[in-house]
Amino acid sequence: MANGKNIILVGVGGQGTILTTKILSAGLTELGYDVKMSEIHGMSQRGGTVTTQLKYGDKVYAPNIGDGEADVIVGFEKSEAARAIPYLRIGGTVIADEREIYSMPVLTGAAEYPHGILDDLKKTVGEDHVKVIDAFAKAEELGNTRVQNIVLLGALVKVLGIEGIDWVELVGKMVPAKVRDLNIEAYKQGFAMV
Amino acid sequence: MSGNEAVARGAYEAGVLWASAYPGTPSTEILENTAKYKEIHSQWSNNEKVALETACGASIGGERAFAAMKHVGLNVAADPLMTIAYEGVNGGLVVITADDPGCHSSQNEQDNRNYATLGKVLMLEPSDSQECKDMFKLAFEMSERFDMVVLFRMTTRVCHSKSIVELGERQEPKIKKYVSDKMKFAMLPASARLRHIAIEENLEKARAYAETSPLNIVEYNGDNKVGIITSGISYQHCREAFGDTVSYLKLGITNPLADNLIKEFCEKCETVHVVEEGDGYLEIGVRHLKLDCTGKELITCQGELTAEIVKTSLTEAKSEPTYDFPQLKDIPARPPVFCAGCPHRGFFYSMSKFRDKVVGMGDIGCYGLGWQEPFNCEETCVCMDAGTSTTIGMANALKNQDDTRKPLGFQGDSTFFHGGLTGFIDAVHYNTNAILCILDNDITAMTGHQLNAANDTGLMGEPVHKLNVTDMIYATGIDKDRVAVVDPMNQAEMDGALKHAIETDGLQVIVTKYPCALLKWDIQQRAGRHCVIDADKCVGCKMCMKVACPALAFDDGKAHIADPAACTGCGLCMQNCKVGAITKVGE
């Protein structure tokens, strides 16, 4: 696609992937891009994997991203970042949070959580192509783990090199008023983490 | 805007006055967004048939109306659809079917375009959000112009993808005076035979319109070596795959088909491919005209299409390369689970203790997760409402093979109102040897908390009469000693009710009463309540883990609350703890 990119955001229900994609869409639209975003609802809301896909460029037709077509994968949870690897374009970038959220087979001891999966990922796609961001820890430090998503948004904007608009103002406009300042701080911190 | 939001906007701009629906992914947000326009009366119906019938009434009465549903919902509403198609409309009438290729959240991937030819209705297929709005608006004009019902066919990617939409002005609603016309609106043999003639004539008029309609777009490119006939989201995949290197006939009106337009396109192009998700619906239309094309022999009928599938199916192109990442297989699955504090967990944990005594027969809703480990409680699931009625036939089959197990059907409050009640009446009438469980959690939970007949507020915030599931069960005249109303989180009570129901002959009914853990008003009420586990007392027996709650974790030989914010303090795990290590705080 001319002048555009395909982004996949993955996480677990409740992590705010959808709001992040919405803010990203609004910003890209303001930058003059055509944007399409696709999300799958339904069973995924019950603790399953949540995936949203966003494509931007001069003109976007199909809303969904196929295998090997994602330029950037943003993983809000590290095993989910790794699970999305089939989507990654050769030479693409992964932004992954260190955050671990255990699924039911792990909680009951039926399966083991792959704690070292990001190291494996680095070996496969290259050290430079995996950007590990401790967004959850940063959000915790800021006093509210729910802003993890905005920390990651900050990092993503930096990685995409789309600083051409006032993202801080946009974030402030799109989050609830009472957590506005906190989210703005989260965005700034995330931006500085890459 | 998402396609669903754009449709709601289209309804507003078209001066629609009535909107009804039964929730179902991917259609649910259409009515939720329509209700934001206070000018449109929007209400949830008990099922899709009722939704369409209420819309029929509004249309016959003279106002523009629509009913929205997911693809399988149209099966429920097929009866009124087939006959309102004969009657035609007064105010424009549009029926939305939101199909789900790929079964993202459905029990099948039926292609509802086939209903358009079966019912002899007009059909429009948008391919992005702008078209959703514009075509939905136009659908009402076409409905009135041709005196026909319009089937507005969307798919998951159209419903849930967001793209930029330019808005228009609202057209002031013009209510058409209702004038009694029983030869048009009362279908009996004498009137229906005549209406059948009229509807065939109207279809031909609409076909002539389709030949020149701006909704059918022809674009010639690349010396016309390759032409693609397509519609809906498949058009976007083709554009993505081939850009302007091939010619396109993009059909917005897919019933009736613009035959002459198709002929002309096929004559101009050397090779014609028909690209569509699901069945070879357009392909049959093209082949019917004795024209050469490729179709389902190249493009799969399974699942969703992508640009990549289209490209690799029609050309020698290879898929994009991907990383070989062998560790992928070591990542544990993340299946959806019952939320912490979900009452269904209490029900299924109890049921799992009696697994060899019953045959679990399910329905459509969150309780479908009872299918999975560790509960394994759902053996059958056909469609919404089948959780009651399938037990009736199963009871007979088990009896005839001397199988002593008892069929146990389960469904929710919304599905009970949806149509479970009719099967339930049969079970009472024939005293079926089965156990029917209504898992009443005060809401339509699965699709995201839509209000139903058990609630006291309507979609537009208006006060409405609240119905009670238990009252309706008693209203069948069933002996009261055959009905138990229990708290599913109280395992002694729940186990006792199931044991009694299994050991007692004839129909036994269990109503579990406990609110959905995600209900706002319940969250406020229980704020601060959660469980704590005393690590010194915990012996690591893992009995608490058996309830499979996402708020619990087990590390280093001890159970602990993984996430106190997620724990609702329902106390289910606590009841399993033999050493009293778990207590509830914050009550």
A164 touches chain B (CB under 8 A): no
pLDDT value for A90: 97
Instruction: From chain A, pick out residues whose CB is under 8 angstroms from the CB of B311.
Output: none
A160-171 residues labelled b (16+ CB within 10 A) or e (exposed): bebeebebeebb
A41 touches chain B (CB under 8 A): yes
**Main-chain dihedrals φ then ψ at residue B130, nearest 5 degrees:** -60, -45
Could A63 and B163 be called an inter-chain contact, meaning their C-beta atoms sit closer than 8 Å?
A: yes
Q: Which structure tokens are listed for B486?
A: 């229990």
pLDDT value for B555: 84
Distance in angstroms (rounded) separating the CA atoms of residues B185 and B40: 24
Q: What is the pLDDT of residues B537-583, one digit of tens each?
A: 999 999 999 999 999 988 889 999 987 888 999 999 999 999 999 99
A32 touches chain B (CB under 8 A): no
Could B328 and A82 be called an inter-chain contact, meaning their C-beta atoms sit closer than 8 Å?
A: yes
How close does chain A come to B304, measured CA to CA in Å?
A: 10
Q: Is B39 left (phi over 0), alpha (psi -120 to 50) or beta?
A: alpha
How close does chain A come to B423, measured CA to CA in Å?
A: 26
Domain ranges of chain B: 3-212, 217-314, 343-522, 526-585
Q: What is the pLDDT of residues B453-491, one digit of tens each?
A: 999 999 999 999 999 999 999 999 999 999 999 999 999
For testing contact with chain B, the best of A61, A76, A100, A146 (most B CBs within 10 A):
A61
Quote the longest CA-to-CA distance of chain B: 82
Question: What is the β-pairing status of strands B406-412 and B358-361?
Answer: parallel
Burial bucket for residue B335 (CB in 10 Å: 0-12, 13-18, 19+): middle
- Name B579's bridge partners: none
Among B74, B69, B168, which Cα is nearest to B115's?
A: B74
pLDDT value for B332: 95
Total beta-carbon pairs less than 8 A apart between chain A and chain B = 175
Distance in angstroms (rounded) separating the CA atoms of residues B378 and B538: 32
| 3-state SS class at A135 | helix
Distance in angstroms (rounded) separating the CA atoms of residues B573 and B543: 8
Q: What is the DSSP string of B471-540?
A: HHHHHTT--GGGEEEE-TT-HHHHHHHHHHHHHS-S-EEEEEE---TT-HHHHHHTTT-EEEE-TTT---
**Residue A63 clears pLDDT 80, i.e. is over it:** yes
Instruction: From chain B, pick out residues whose CB is under 8 angstroms from the CB of A90.
Output: 320-323
CA distances (Å), B17 to each of B34, B53, B433, in order?
10, 15, 47
Among B57, B289, B90, which Cα is nearest to B174's?
A: B90
CB neighbour list of residue A194: distance below 8 Å, 6 or more residues apart: A95, A131, A133, A155, A158, A159
Q: What is the DSSP string of B167-198?
A: --PPPPP-PPPP---HHHHS--HHHHHHHHHH
CA distances (Å), A120 to each of A83, B272, B408, in order?
12, 46, 47
CATH fold, domain B343-522, is Rossmann fold (3.40.50)
Torsion of CA B461, B467, B468, B474, to 10 degrees: 180
What residue of B is the nearest CA neighbor of A107?
B553
CA distances (Å), A78 to each of A49, B80, B125, B332, B562, in order?
12, 50, 39, 12, 18
What residue of B is the nearest CA neighbor of A83?
B328
Instruction: From chain B, pick out residues whose CB is under 8 angstroms from the CB of A89.
Output: 320
Contacts from B287-290 at CB under 8 Å and sequence distance 24+?
A: B289/B259, B289/B262, B289/B263
Among B161, B332, B550, select the one facing A111 at the smallest CB separation. B332
Could you tell me if B98 and B161 are in contact, meaning their C-beta atoms sit under 8 angstroms apart? no
Band (pLDDT 50/70/90 cuts) for residue A1 is very low
The listed CATH number (3.40.50.300, 3.30.365.10, 3.30.420.40, 3.30.70.20) that belongs to domain B526-585: 3.30.70.20
Instruction: From chain A, pick out residues whose CB is under 8 angstroms from the CB of B337.
Output: 46-48, 103-104
What residue of B is the nearest CA neighbor of A35?
B163
A 10 A CB-CB count for B241 gives: 26
Could you tell me if B227 and B248 are in contact, meaning their C-beta atoms sit under 8 angstroms apart? yes
Q: Which structure tokens are listed for A80?
A: 């989910």
Could you tell me if A68 and A89 are in contact, meaning their C-beta atoms sit under 8 angstroms apart? yes
Class of domain B3-212: alpha beta
Distance in angstroms (rounded) separating the CA atoms of residues B203 and B141: 15
pTM for the full model? Answer: 0.94
A91 touches chain B (CB under 8 A): no
Same-fold call for B343-522 versus B526-585? no
The CB-side HSE value for B235 (13 A sphere, CA atoms) comes to 23
Could you tell me if B360 and B410 are in contact, meaning their C-beta atoms sit under 8 angstroms apart? yes
Could A64 and B330 be called an inter-chain contact, meaning their C-beta atoms sit closer than 8 Å?
A: no
Burial bucket for residue B531 (CB in 10 Å: 0-12, 13-18, 19+): buried
Run of H or E including B435 = strand B435-440
Low-confidence residues of chain B: pLDDT under 50: none
Could B323 and A107 be called an inter-chain contact, meaning their C-beta atoms sit closer than 8 Å?
A: no
Could B562 and A102 be called an inter-chain contact, meaning their C-beta atoms sit closer than 8 Å?
A: yes
Distance in angstroms (rounded) separating the CA atoms of residues B399 and B434: 11
Among B157, B331, B334, select the one facing A38 at the smallest CB separation. B157
Could you tell me if B300 and B314 are in contact, meaning their C-beta atoms sit under 8 angstroms apart? no
Distance in angstroms (rounded) separating the CA atoms of residues B514 and B350: 15
Could A63 and B157 be called an inter-chain contact, meaning their C-beta atoms sit closer than 8 Å?
A: yes
Instruction: From chain B, pick out residues whose CB is under 8 angstroms from the CB of A66.
Output: 306-309, 319-320
Could you tell me if A130 and A92 are in contact, meaning their C-beta atoms sit under 8 angstroms apart? no
Among B368, B24, B349, which Cα is nearest to A48's?
A: B368
pLDDT value for A3: 80
The CB-side HSE value for B69 (13 A sphere, CA atoms) comes to 28
Band (pLDDT 50/70/90 cuts) for residue A41 is low
**Main-chain dihedrals φ then ψ at residue B162, nearest 5 degrees:** -110, 135
CATH of domain B217-314: 3.40.50.920
For testing contact with chain B, the best of A44, A55, A108 (most B CBs within 10 A):
A108
Could you tell me if B353 and B499 are in contact, meaning their C-beta atoms sit under 8 angstroms apart? no
Distance in angstroms (rounded) separating the CA atoms of residues B162 and A36: 5
Question: What is the β-pairing status of strands B161-162 and A34-39?
Answer: antiparallel
Domains of chain A: 5-192 (3.40.920.10)
Q: What is the pLDDT of residues A89-139, one digit of tens each?
A: 999 999 999 999 988 888 877 899 999 999 999 999 999 999 999 999 999
Q: Which structure tokens are listed for B20?
A: 């009804």
How close does chain B come to A7, measured CA to CA in Å?
A: 14
Amino acid at B299: I
A126 touches chain B (CB under 8 A): no
Distance in angstroms (rounded) separating the CA atoms of residues B171 and B307: 37
DSSP state of B20: E
What residue of A is the nearest CA neighbor of B325?
A124
CA distances (Å), A63 to each of A31, A168, B243, B518, in order?
19, 27, 15, 31
Instruction: From chain A, pick out residues whose CB is under 8 angstroms from the CB of B161.
Output: 36-38, 63-64
CB neighbour list of residue B1: distance below 8 Å, 6 or more residues apart: B9, B129, B133, B162, B163, B164, B165
Instruction: From chain A, pick out residues whose CB is under 8 angstroms from the CB of B373.
Output: 110
How close does chain A come to B377, measured CA to CA in Å?
A: 17
Q: Which structure tokens are listed for B122?
A: 């007009």
Distance in angstroms (rounded) separating the CA atoms of residues B27 and B32: 10
| 3-state SS class at B257 | coil
Q: Find the radius of gyration of the CA atoms of chain A.
A: 16
Among B236, B322, B339, select the one facing A46 at the smallest CB separation. B339
Q: What is the pLDDT of residues B139-164, one digit of tens each?
A: 999 999 999 999 999 999 999 998 88
Residue with tokens 């802003």: A147
Instruction: From chain A, pick out residues whose CB is under 8 angstroms from the CB of B338.
Output: 46
pLDDT value for A2: 55
- Name B359's bridge partners: B407
Amino acid at A4: G
Could you tell me if A92 and A73 are in contact, meaning their C-beta atoms sit under 8 angstroms apart? yes
How close does chain B come to A141, measured CA to CA in Å?
A: 18
